[in-house]
Amino acid sequence: MSILFSCTNMIRHYDAEEFAAAVAEGVKVVDVRTPEEYSEGYIPGAVNVDWNGGDFLAGIDAKFDESDTLYIYCRSGRRSAAAAKALKKAGYKVFNLLGGIQAWTAAGKNVDMDFKYAESLIPSGESVPDFELKDLAGTPVRISDFRGQSVVLVFWASWCPDCRAEVPALKAMFESADTENVQFVSVSFDRDFDTLCKFVEENELPGVQLFDPAGKKDSKVAADYGVKWIPSLYLIDPEGKVVVSTVVAWKIADALDGKMPVSAHVAGPCSDEGCAI
């Protein structure tokens, strides 16, 4: 592993790959950007302490011990470099992400978007409401039909760029999952049924594909499940209770111990057809 050292303060600097390897081990990560920047997406597990928010060291001391090793980052690396010097002087061992979260996303690493976009989703531990929609063959399907199995439930639409971007990840997740015990169910808010069918066929989308002709804004199912942004995803246990509710597919894959391509979200999910490209 190549570690760069500052000649003056011995701050350790990691590139995105090295930083990601450390994050995977469960290290303590600090995002020193503003709360507004943090809410737009952050490195998974990162705690926000704003470098420019007042008494930075007091904020750090309130959340960490001096014996802790901290892995810090900002947007481009400038603020975190300054913060690293202050932390080092205060006695902390510090690793700084070179290039900040911009380098992280450029390397294809995951960004957690749930802080902003998953607030309205049904939380973990609560039971999901039942619903009935038709599949692409016109057969009525109820979510309760899958009791006794875990369910990956995906709310999406083919007009949604981020939904389309998640297709390889969802297909990889399906291929690696134990499909005898895990069902994949997708609810589409497409307005045009033929467009949906064509997209499903051309992209060979797996699992049970359901169509909600009401569209996202007028959908009772969307309202019942708190879906304000798509894609929104749930992992539901065999008893019909939420295990994970999220707007990023990698969290479902993590919960299933599945392998899937990384997809970094930086612009945010879609709220309606206005975000289509």
Q: Biggest alpha carbon distance in the chain?
A: 69
Which residues belong to CATH 3.40.250.10 in the chain? 4-106
Structure tokens, 96? 């700084």
Q: Nearest 5°: phi and psi at 265?
A: -100, 125
For the stretch 237-246, pLDDT in tens is 999 999 999 9
Q: Which of 127, 122, 124, 125 is nearest to 222 (CA)?
A: 122
Give the type of residue at 235: L
Give yes or no for residue 87 having a pLDDT over 70: yes
Cβ-proximal residues to 150 (8 Å cutoff; 6+ apart), any chain: 181, 182, 183, 235, 236, 237, 238, 243, 256
Q: What are the start and end residues of each CATH 3.40.30.10 domain in the chain?
A: 114-275
Residues 9-59: tens digit of each pLDDT: 468 999 999 999 999 899 999 999 999 999 889 999 999 999 999 899 999
Q: Which residues are part of the catalytic machinery?
A: 74
pLDDT band for position 230 (cuts 50, 70, 90): very high
Q: Which residues of 221-259 are buried (b: 16+ CB within 10 A; e: fewer)?
A: bbeebebbbbbbbbbbbeebebbbbbbbbbbbbbebebe
Q: CA–CA separation, 45 vs 41, rounded Å?
A: 11
pTM: 0.78
Q: Return the CATH fold of 4-106.
A: Oxidized Rhodanese; domain 1 (3.40.250)
Predicted local confidence at residue 270, as pLDDT: 83
Confidence of residue 195 (pLDDT cuts 50, 70, 90): very high
Q: Which of 111, 149, 155 is nearest to 245 (CA)?
A: 155
- Domain 114-275 grouped into CATH 3.40.30.10: yes
